[in-house]
Structure 1
């Protein structure tokens, strides 16, 4: 482990040197090449990908950086047209879902023992996951980690399976965690390896050990973070959370959080969504704070998370106020018709919805149309409905939050503005958080979906349903949304 720390220290010094050169000449091709090579030679493959993507977005016809990428992909088991497809993906948006779809087109091994490269093991895991063969999928992703421990893709999917798809029996968890410890011990792993370790330990009820794992993830993030200065390192620290993006799901929270943590004053949490106040509150505040970097007193650094379902979750506002009464709260609201349809198609993709769009929406309209207080839906509602329309009744949720927190602690954004006037909207956010303005070279949409156009009759039915609630929202907040 000591050798790993020494390598990381040397790597950080060299990268810092080259990053300073980029500040003087941001389009210096040779410098991007040097940084990418450094990361590749040290086995930091996630960072290699980030630098390649950064360079390709600035200069799409760049020749030298893709050479590093070619070497990396060949090492991982990619070949021929797969490398070209990956480079094309990198030039636009390296999103996890697109990456998995790319791999799913490849031939797959039949067993974990057959997997000789990282790609083989990952593709096998993907195909087993699609078939819901969870034990076998976990074994395949563990093999991918064993072959190449520095890529976060394996850890991300493994974590998704264990947290959201499948709950292994305690004896199986013990076996997984024992193997996992062996795989990552003393190796140059992705920081996310320790997040996964923390999540597995949390599922085992080993909260104290989980906290140590999350703190290890944070330490690694801080150690190699280019934002960290001597001022940060030498300042006394406090455990605090500066802001929460509380809602709403399928309204652009992933993009907003991504843009935010590019800012030099913002250091992200271990995960975008921690679900502490709506699902994990009983784990305690120490568990929660372990997911965040300690902040220097008066150092100008901020941290926060974005769990978009906080806005509508029962009594979350009281729990947040109990722990962080001064916290800044951001809600991004999308035309509730578009938001509902987007959530529906997300659930279809996740195989959580089998009804047609029209049946699902009409069913919910019939249940909600005569309810005086939509936040007090009866339990029977949740036995049949998914909350597509309910989640868009923003005004009733905001009323609850604003009886607990003063209005000045909220920033309310239109999702449509974040999409069409991104730079201007982000300046609003920076001003609200009291940090300096900062512009990105590009604003990719993160976690966005695509689907066919909704028929006009259904759309009008949904618009009519939301119209009085949208009007009440505009009156309550004193701002126009202009949703149709």
Structure 2
């Protein structure tokens, strides 16, 4: 008897959800135009039945981790604080002249901000994905839940992909794999961000998190307990 094997092919770039800057290189007769199409439009054209996995981290902690990972020298909690303040000022200046979505996708603005503040405004990107894919095709997870209970998260993913339960041997192999992109020792020695920075960022991200939690109908995405 011939047995058919189902092969799932995935792509796992961390930037797929938000990286749409290529659109800015296309000809446009409008200053400050927003993207006419996004990465998900291309994905949907090639694979309309794709299932999308999105894993999100508390945007406040994500930004500090991003700063530590990509900045090479002269890092400090104080330097991060100043860069956050400067970035929020630039973003709010953009909002005084344009829409929220146009500012999030503004390539010139993102290049001028000292930290990548806009990447934590998940709701803007998520709503754009929903214009292309059905809600049932997208599973949104939290990195905090993945870190706290890998087995439960893996089960959710396998159920979502309809590939059946993972064997005990397969589960053990996954849970034994070393973590990727762990924080470097020198960065860990810098300690956490300043309390004032955390409070400032929490206040900035609050409306975006509230909208995201509402759309997902899940208060965990408020990140109020992290």
Same fold at TM > 0.5: yes
Task: Tell whether the 8 Å contact from 1:369 to 1:465 is kept in structure 2 after alignment.
Answer: no
The reply on whether 1:466 has 2:205 as its aligned counterpart is: yes
The reply on whether 1:328 has 2:51 as its aligned counterpart is: yes
Secondary structure at the aligned position of 2:53 is classed as strand
Q: Distance in 2 between matches of 1:415 and 1:483?
A: 11
Paired residue for 1:409?
137
Q: Distance in 1 between matches of 2:218 and 2:84?
A: 27
Give the one of 427, 440, 452 matched to 2:172.
440
The alignment's C-alpha RMSD in Å is: 2.5
Number of paired residues? 189
Paired residue for 1:428?
156
Q: How does 1:105-184 map to 2 (within 5 A)?
A: none
Paired residue for 1:306?
12
Deviation at 1:476, TM superposition (A): 1.4
Structure-2 change in CA distance of 1:367 and 1:329 (3 Å): same
Task: Tell whether the 8 Å contact from 1:327 to 1:409 is kept in structure 2 after alignment.
Answer: yes
Q: Distance in 1 between matches of 2:157 and 2:74?
A: 34
Deviation at 1:414, TM superposition (A): 0.7
Pick the structure with greater CA Rg: 1
Task: Tell whether the 8 Å contact from 1:368 to 1:374 is kept in structure 2 after alignment.
Answer: no
Cα distance per residue 1:25-57 (max 9 Å; x no partner)? xxxxxxxxxxxxxxxxxxxxxxxxxxxxxxxxx
Q: Distance in 2 between matches of 1:386 and 1:474?
A: 28
Give the one of 193, 211, 214 matched to 1:475.
214
Secondary structure at the aligned position of 1:332 is classed as strand
Paired residue for 1:376?
102
Unmatched tracts of structure 2, length 5 or more: 21-37
Task: Tell whether the 8 Å contact from 1:341 to 1:388 is kept in structure 2 after alignment.
Answer: no
Q: How does 1:285-364 map to 2 (within 5 A)?
A: 298-314=4-20, 315-349=38-72, 356-364=79-87
Deviation at 1:362, TM superposition (A): 1.1
Q: Distance in 2 between matches of 1:403 and 1:353?
A: 39
Cα distance per residue 1:317-371 (max 9 Å; x no partner)? 111111111011000000000000000001124x698992112211111122362
Task: Tell whether the 8 Å contact from 2:84 to 2:114 is kept in structure 1 after alignment.
Answer: no
Paired residue for 2:27?
none
The reply on whether 1:366 has 2:67 as its aligned counterpart is: no
Task: Tell whether the 8 Å contact from 1:330 to 1:412 is kept in structure 2 after alignment.
Answer: yes
Secondary structure at the aligned position of 1:381 is classed as helix
Deviation at 1:383, TM superposition (A): 3.6
Q: Distance in 2 between matches of 1:472 and 1:367?
A: 22
Paired residue for 1:254?
none
Give the one of 383, 397, 400 matched to 2:128.
400
* Larger helix percent: 1
Q: Distance in 1 between matches of 2:107 and 2:138?
A: 30
**Over 4 Å off, 4+ runs:** 351-355
